[in-house]
Amino acid sequence: MTEREGQSGQPRPWSIRLYQPGDEVQIVGLFQRVFGKERSLAHWRWKFMDNPEGAQICLAVTDTGEVIGQYAGIPVRVMVDGQILTFSQSIDSMVDAGYRRGLKKPGVFASLFERFADTYGGRDGVTILWGYTTPEALRIGRRLLGYLALHRVVKLVRSVDSPARLSPWQQMSEAWRRIQCPIHPVRRFDAGIDRLWEQCRPELRVATIRDARYLNWRYADCPDVQYRLLMAGGTMGTPPLGMAVLRLGWEGQPVACLVDWLVPWKNMAAAERLLQRSFEEAGLAGMKELHAWFPPSSPWCRYLRDKGFQSIETACMTVRQFTPTISLELLNAHWYYTMGDSDHY
């Protein structure tokens, strides 16, 4: 008889509660059992405890105190037509294998979600819960949790080619472009990124607020990934012109990911230089491909296609509405997201 079984060999009684300090050790252990992947406590604390918008964690716990299930979200502030709302990404939903099939109704997973919705959802809390969902997870989510499918996420892919040999005239033109729009890496984002966000905000009807508070937590403070933070302009008192964030390598593959992008549409020179620098960084790091996400409705999706990127449909973007504040039509047509909005990257 294991610790997870009672005297009859059946799963032990369990109940639902919110996270309590110290639960993270068991949560990380459950994650490793369920998903077969390592996760450090430093990563867990960064993702949940250090998030400037707080932690959203509901747990299933047995009568002996063992954590056997979790439903969790990563909340972020989102600007929706000038109004600040909270969206939360559903992540790390998991149930110990011994508790997935039981006679108790509702089961662990549905009970976890019900407590999550009651605790965090609603007009003064999470407006939209969303996820990057496989067909199997979508099937279960539709039946048990009211998930709705928006669209398939488009991954844009292009090979990292060797740099072309330039003529003397092309070299002069390239040098001039570099002077006009310098690209420089930064360790952290400063107040300049807040000004850049304000420039871009009118073009983005629905988008995570990409200010220094969010971006530094998401990228600069991540303990186990060294993102490359690139700024266009913003030196010697000049205004920032654009921003890109790169991840060099993903899951052991020679793939560079353009995980974030913030460029006003009018600053096409900055977009050209940031994309060029992204390919240069990827090539120097030995990457074979550059990947990106932009929603199908975004002009940046069309921009990358015009630059030779191929479109590949992947998993589904799904949502669960907790209030009728936002229509699905608005989300489908105007929600701006990149790879970095998802915890996968």
The structural domains of the chain, with segments of one domain joined by +, span: 14-151, 155-314
Look over the chain and give the mean of its residue pLDDT values, rounded to a whole number.
90
Question: What predicted TM-score, i.e. pTM, was given to this entire model?
Answer: 0.90
User: Which pLDDT does position 260 carry in this prediction?
Assistant: 99
Q: What share of the chain is helix, strand, coil (3-state, %, to 5)?
A: 35, 35, 30
The reply to whether domains 14-151 and 155-314 share a CATH topology is yes
More confident residue, 2 or 273: 273
More confident residue, 253 or 138: 253
272-328 per-position pLDDT tens digit: 999 999 999 999 999 999 999 999 999 999 999 999 999 999 989 999 999 888 999
Q: Which residues are paired to 18 by β-bridges?
A: 58
171-184 per-position pLDDT tens digit: 555 555 665 668 99
| DSSP 8-state secondary structure symbol assigned to residue 203 | G
More confident residue, 147 or 312: 312
The matching CATH number, chosen from 3.40.630.30, 3.40.228.10, 3.30.70.330, 3.10.20.30, for 155-314 is: 3.40.630.30
| DSSP output for 93-135 | EEE-GGGSS-SSSS-HHHHHHHHHHHHHBSTTSEEEEEEEE-H
More confident residue, 81 or 135: 81
User: Which pLDDT does position 100 carry in this prediction?
Assistant: 81
Q: What percent of the chain has pLDDT over 90?
A: 77
Domain 14-151 has CATH 3.40.630.30: yes
